[in-house]
Amino acid sequence: MSSSRSAKDFFRPLAVGAPTPLTEIPARPSRAIHFFDPSNEKMAGKIPGMVGTVDVLLGNLEDAVKADNKVAAREGLVKIGQSTEGLGGGGTTQLWTRVNALDSPWFLDDVMTLVPAIGDKLDVIMVPKVQGAEDIQYVDRLLAQLEAKAGLERPILVHAILETARGVANVEEICGASPRMQGISLGPADLAADRRMKTTRVGGGHPGYLVRQDPNPDQPDASRPTYQQDLWHYTIARMVDACAMHGIYPYYGPFGDIADVTACEDQFRNAFLLGCVGTWSLHPKQIAIANKVFSPSVEDITHARRVVAAMGDGTGAVMLDGKMEDDASLKQCLVLVRLAEELAAIDPELKKQYDAIDAPEEA
Ligand SMILES: CC(=O)SCCNC(=O)CCNC(=O)[C@H](O)C(C)(C)COP(=O)(O)OP(=O)(O)OC[C@H]1O[C@@H](n2cnc3c(N)ncnc32)[C@H](O)[C@@H]1OP(=O)(O)O
Ligand SMILES: CC(=O)C(=O)O
Ligand SMILES: [Mg+2]
């Protein structure tokens, strides 16, 4: 919680008539946040057919939308939100948007247009280039005023993109700045530029960022293997801790090399293993990769359920397949089992796979 509001005020509406803030962020599956440009007629035309095939559809208004198309994108999103069955507001697929940056000429009109027109459909507003708690607090109050005016009954949640050095330095206060905070995504492209990293990519690794094995004194001229390192490990790990500390959700972000589906899957899996709940999809073919990676495998769930069964009342230590299990490994297994339950509730194919796992014997 931010130090600028007292504990008793934190969950009070910031405008008379605004909906009461949530005390807990709902754990809705959001393995892929699929980006589309609502001003691109061809892309926008595909959106109704994508409802039910992806956890989140996000109408992007910021970077990747041409300046000349900003108004068309905003209006296109309103049309999609108002006319698409099953999208947003408790429908099968969540509706999110990424609005323009707070210092841009478009942010104010984005929220002033979207909240009255489709505020009842919008689940989450993603705010780019967040620098500190003050940015979230500004959005928090403005949304409360607009929600009150529009008579909304459910607060719109806020998601921040971590894409400036100052944002990373302030990540804990950003996560705790408002009860609206739903989660954070890594923004590797803007973050690289802001940090003056010497890369030219949108996410992913770099072959130059490596460690090299020591020379072999007996073969000084032998070639020495190198191992590519993960440029994003530090930031993702920091983001995951900050989100967990505040009960909100961390996400990887964009993987710009659309053709390299293998490296995309690797980057997504690293984020999944470190604690992220989902990622972005920029192209339809990245949705299947995200859904696969961010759903626990049948093998993981088989093992996790065996540990849960072997641990009985959850106390003490047991041996399973030569390995010690106790309260701490049980808790890890329960994270996977609960995630599988949440996903099975919305994904019939996954449910079938998880249901087919033999029930483990009780200890
Ligand atoms: C750093 C950041 O801020 S990342 C976030 C901002 N960036 C984005 O949002 C980018 C979103 N994605 C895109 O703009 C596009 O996918 C691009 C530019 C990357 C590639 O587009 P294309 O060259 O058209 O890709 P491609 O030819 O493979 O598309 C195949 C089909 O999928 C459609 N398609 C492509 N991307 C999407 C999408 N994101 N959503 C829905 N449909 C899409 C195309 O319209 C095309 O349809 P068609 O078969 O009927 O012709
Ligand atoms: C995600 C994003 O906006 C970025 O990488 O800059
Ligand atoms: Mg960016």
Same domain for 94 and 216, yes or no, is: yes
Name which residue sits closest to atom 42 of ligand 1, judged by CA: 43
Name which residue sits closest to atom 4 of ligand 2, judged by CA: 187
Same domain for 147 and 180, yes or no, is: yes
Mutate to test the pocket of ligand 2, among 191, 201, 239, 251 (most ligand atoms within 8 A of CB): 191
Residues with CB under 6 A from ligand 2: 63, 128, 161, 163, 187-190, 253-254
What is the rounded CA–CA span in Å between residue 93 and residue 56? 5
Q: 190 alpha carbon to ligand 3 midpoint, in Å? A: 5
Same domain for 350 and 214, yes or no, is: no
Name which residue sits closest to atom 26 of ligand 1, judged by CA: 283
- Token output for 246: 């505040």
Cβ proximity of 336 and 300 under 8 Å: yes
The mean pLDDT values, 10 residues at a time, for the chain of 363 residues are 77 97 96 98 98 97 98 98 96 97 98 98 98 98 98 98 98 98 98 98 97 96 96 98 98 98 98 98 98 98 98 96 97 98 95 93 67
H, E, C per residue of the chain: CCCCCCHHHCCCCCCCCCCCCCCCCCCCCCCEEEEECCCCHHHHHHHHHHECCECEEEEECCCCCCHHHHHHHHHHHHHHHHHCCCECCCCCEEEEEECCCCCCCCHHHHHHHHHHHHCCCCCEEEECCCCCHHHHHHHHHHHHHHHHHHCCCCCCEEEEEECCHHHHHCHHHHHCCCCCEEEEEECHHHHHHHHCCCCCCCCCCCCCCEEECCCECCECCCCCCEEECCCCHHHHHHHHHHHHHHCCEEECCCCCCCCCHHHHHHHHHHHHHHCCCEEEECCHHHHHHHHHHCCCCHHHHHHHHHHHHHCCCCCCCEEECCEEECHHHHHHHHHHHHHHHHHHCCCHHHHHHHHCCCCCCCC
Taking the CA of residue 128 as reference, the ligand 2 atom at the shortest distance is 3
The reply, when asked if residue 321 is annotated as ligand binding, is no
∠ CA 88-90-96 to the nearest 5 degrees? 30
Name which residue sits closest to atom 33 of ligand 1, judged by CA: 43
Taking the CA of residue 254 as reference, the ligand 2 atom at the shortest distance is 1
Instruction: Name the one residue in this structure whose structure tokens are 């297994």.
Output: 333
Cβ proximity of 314 and 330 under 8 Å: yes
**Longest CA pairwise span in the chain (Å):** 77
Indicate which CATH number applies to the domain containing 172: 3.20.20.60
Q: How many residues does the chain have?
A: 363
Contacts of 198 (CB under 8 A, 6+ apart): none
The ipTM, to two decimals, is 0.99
Residue 360 belongs to some domain of the structure:
no
State residue 132's pLDDT score.
Answer: 98
Cβ proximity of 158 and 125 under 8 Å: yes
Name which residue sits closest to atom 1 of ligand 1, judged by CA: 189
Residue 156 belongs to some domain of the structure:
yes
Ligand nearest to the CA of 190: 2
What is the rounded CA–CA span in Å between residue 324 and residue 47? 48
Same domain for 182 and 101, yes or no, is: yes
Cβ proximity of 30 and 56 under 8 Å: yes
Taking alpha carbons only, the member of 164, 183, 133 closest to residue 5 is: 133
State residue 3's pLDDT score.
Answer: 54
Name which residue sits closest to atom 22 of ligand 1, judged by CA: 283
Residue 276: domain span = 7-293
Give the number of domains in the chain.
Answer: 2
What is the rounded CA–CA span in Å between residue 56 and residue 246? 22
Taking the CA of residue 60 as reference, the ligand 1 atom at the shortest distance is 9
Q: 37 alpha carbon to ligand 1 midpoint, in Å? A: 8
Contacts of 10 (CB under 8 A, 6+ apart): 1, 21, 179
Residues with CB under 6 A from ligand 1: 35-37, 42-43, 46, 60, 63-64, 189, 202, 254, 258, 282-284
Cβ proximity of 162 and 184 under 8 Å: yes
Same domain for 234 and 308, yes or no, is: no
Same domain for 266 and 303, yes or no, is: no
Same domain for 133 and 273, yes or no, is: yes
The reply, when asked if residue 98 is annotated as ligand binding, is yes
Residue 31 belongs to some domain of the structure:
yes
Cβ proximity of 174 and 138 under 8 Å: no
Same domain for 177 and 161, yes or no, is: yes
Residue 127 belongs to some domain of the structure:
yes
Mutate to test the pocket of ligand 1, among 33, 34, 37, 43 (most ligand atoms within 8 A of CB): 43
The reply, when asked if residue 190 is annotated as ligand binding, is yes
∠ CA 129-104-161 to the nearest 5 degrees? 15
Same domain for 260 and 340, yes or no, is: no
Q: 171 alpha carbon to ligand 2 midpoint, in Å? A: 16
Cβ proximity of 31 and 290 under 8 Å: yes
Cβ proximity of 316 and 310 under 8 Å: no
State residue 28's pLDDT score.
Answer: 94
Same domain for 284 and 303, yes or no, is: no
pTM of the model: 0.97
Ligand nearest to the CA of 185: 2
Q: 21 alpha carbon to ligand 3 midpoint, in Å? A: 28
